[in-house]
Chain A
């Protein structure tokens, strides 16, 4: 039980430190133009990385399972301008269905 509380406290403090480091160390100084053009692309790169890790990751290995079908279904719905919440729920429904059939 102690391990759980140590984990929670450390993650709370560590995450705060990660979020605060840039703004407190850099202050409000503007970034050089080169850095700005990287920043502009950072969200695309990080979100895509999170997406593939959450879709194909299983610990330290990669796997193809029913999540892929759900996520693909969500992507199709979103490109057809479905509301986000519909797409997210659709992903869960398709994944659950695929597991029920398999």
Chain B
């Protein structure tokens, strides 16, 4: 066993936070465009204030698009909430993974954990199962700003844009995940986890409620962890 990384104590928080924000800047631009399309789509369904409040309070692409789709199709709050929470159920797994890397009082651990979003969590992974919390906060900040600003702009310009799918905006979100995935997948076991996760999600999508296929994909990580590296 190697000793616990002591760099957390030697390396001050500020430079790690700053290098995180630099890393997060392109993510912020990408999520600005994605949330712009959310604002455009949400305005006819939710009015112009609620989408912005939602982006401020929920800050989650998958859950916001998923619950919006339910509401737009005439579904009730119960179905919209269930869909959104299932789509975010992966945060439970991500939180469990992150937990041992968070130190200090519960309030401080909670504050770090609240800044978790997909791109930051993946970027803050050190590759050995541990995470850099200050780096993660840094990567999240430009994304939060981009997410909220994009929603505001989307709500404002919405009527002029028409349907954002005509502009190919629905390809922004998956393209963002391609970029995150290509940075992440290094080596045979990660490739196996990615392939297994994608396969699991594809096979389950027609049969179970939205979100569960993504959560179930975590099982692929379990299987791939048994492979020799």
Q: Which chain A residues have a beta carbon within 8 Å of chain B's beta carbons?
A: 1-12, 14-16, 18-31, 34-57, 59-62, 66-67, 70-71, 74-75, 78-79, 83-85, 87-100
Contacts and interface: CB of A to CB of B under 8 A. Distances in A.
Given A88-B172, A99-B166, A8 B114 contact: no
A24 B95 CA distance: 9
The 6 closest A-B pairs by CB, nearest first: A22-B95, A95-B168, A45-B197, A49-B217, A70-B171, A36-B129
Interface of B: 4, 26-27, 29-30, 33, 45-47, 50, 53-54, 57-60, 62-64, 67, 69, 71, 76-77, 80-81, 84-85, 88-100, 102-104, 106, 109-110, 112-114, 116, 118, 121-122, 125, 127-130, 165-182, 184-185, 189-191, 193-198, 200-202, 205-207, 209-210, 213-214, 216-222, 224-225
Given A41-B225, A60-B209, A92-B171, A47 B100 contact: no
22 contacts: A4-B45, A7-B84, A8-B50, A10-B85, A19-B113, A19-B114, A23-B98, A28-B103, A39-B97, A40-B127, A43-B121, A45-B197, A45-B219, A48-B193, A50-B201, A52-B198, A67-B168, A71-B174, A74-B179, A75-B178, A84-B176, A91-B178
